[in-house]
Amino acid sequence: MNPITIQGFKAYDLRGRIPDELNEDVAYRIGRAYAEFVKPQRVIVGRDIRLSSELLGKALEQGLLDSGVDVYDIGLCGTEVVYFATFAREMDGGIMVTASHNPPDYNGMKFVREGSRPISGDNGLQDIRRIAEQGEFTMPSRVGERFAVDIMPEYIEHLLTYVDRPKLKPLKVVVHAGNGGAGLIIDRLEQYLPFKFIKVHHEPDGTFPNGVPNPMLIENHAAPVEALRKHGADCAISWDGDYDRCFLFDEKGGFIEGYYIVGLLAAAFLQRNPAAGSCTTRASPGTRSTSCSAWVARPCSRSRATRSSRPRCATWTACTVAR
């Protein structure tokens, strides 16, 4: 293949505008380059609800297949589901097609290797970029096979292990999916929880008719807060597009900064598993960070306890502290 320049590689993922920066040719090359660098035999692939994700996912998978890699397609899902499936099924890697909370004309990818260890700029992401740009790929001895996998029942069962259901109170909770993918998981969890869910912008819609699913944007706070006050709910939760981050509102509609939730979850999980380590949350002007030591028998699906100073969601914290 002819050499090209690929824009959009960031410190921890790939994100680019469709189709100028990211298209099916680029996705195919990335599949080939990922296989060339990681040298996997079996890889999980998932995608978010963006309109471009299905075609990009197919091109990515073809690149993996043409490299001799067996692809296990888990379909429409969130980023954490790819991480879970990679770890739980003992795969050699996983790729999520998503641009998270970016506008609808963007897409991207997030990469992990065995054990759901993230591939970032300092441990391989730039190598994948270089190989994809050069377009020189090794000829495999075989073409890979593609398998469709329904991981959701296993993932739901896993999520429920984090809570003691008999102790849960029958709360009224506003759930704000932002027309991203979180609504799909909420619907499957609903039957197992004693909560009454008030669903806002619940249906997945890759055009994002109510704005990009970014809970950090002030303009996106109005819908969940209005629903909370209208229904007298106990709290509200908003997710981003690939639901690997969420943020909460209290019973009065006040936005709860992520570092407070980190502290609450850290205390809860360390109480259940003191051997997991320690976690210190600092919240002062100009300093918002969490430092954790949380390594037990199994590795976390995130390789670092502190990756940046921005608030983190409950999912990330639970994984970091519990594992």
Is 79 within 8 Å of 86 (Cβ atoms)? Answer: no
- Residue of 52, 53, 67, 100 marked catalytic: 100
Backbone angles phi, psi at 174, to 5 degrees: -80, 125
Could you confirm whether 67 is annotated as catalytic? no
- Alpha carbon 255 to its chain centroid, in Å, reads 22
Amino acid at 278: S
* Of 261, 97, 85, the residue nearest 156 (C-alpha): 85
Amino acid at 89: R
33's CB contacts (< 8 A; 6+ apart) are 63, 128, 129, 130, 131, 132, 137
Strands in 23-181 per DSSP E:
42-47, 70-76, 93-97, 106-113, 117-118, 146-148, 172-176
Amino acid at 31: G
Residue with tokens 């939730």: 261
Q: Which residues are catalytic?
A: 100
